[in-house]
Amino acid sequence: MTLIGHSERRHVFGETDDETGKKVKAALAADLHAVLCVGETLAQREAGETMAVVTRQLKAAFAGHAGKGRVTIAYEPVWAIGTGRNATPKDAAEVHRVNS
C-alpha cells in the first residue's frame, strides 16, 4: 500500500497534480494499492473552489490510464489539518457526490 498526494507533499514540498498522477500510475503498474489524498486549502474553500480543486486533482490522478477502481480516495481538506476545524460528514458527502 502507498499513500499518494498527501497535503504535506502537495503544499510543503510542492508536489503537482501531474506528479501525483504519475505516482498513481506507477503504483498501479507495480500492483500496489494506492490511497490518493485530495482536498482544498482554506483559501480555496472560502473562494468556493472546493469542487473544482478536487475534480482537478482526481482528473490529473487518473489521466491516461484506468485504475480508479483500484485506488482508495481519501478526502483530506487541508483546512482541517491542525486547525481545530473539522470536515463534517456533510462536507465529505458533498465532495463525494460531485466527484463520483
Catalytic residues: 6, 76
pTM of this prediction? 0.89
| pLDDT tens digits for range 17-54 | 999 999 999 999 999 999 999 999 999 999 999 999 99
Work out the percent of the chain whose per-residue pLDDT is above 90. 74
Top-confidence residue, 31 or 100: 31
Q: Which pLDDT score, from 0 to 100, does residue 52 have?
A: 97
Q: How many domains does the chain have?
A: 1
Q: Which pLDDT score, from 0 to 100, does residue 68 have?
A: 65
**Which residue do the cell numbers 457526490 mark?**
97
Range of the domain at 22: 2-99
Work out the percent of the chain whose per-residue pLDDT is above 70. 97
CATH code (residue 87): 3.20.20.70
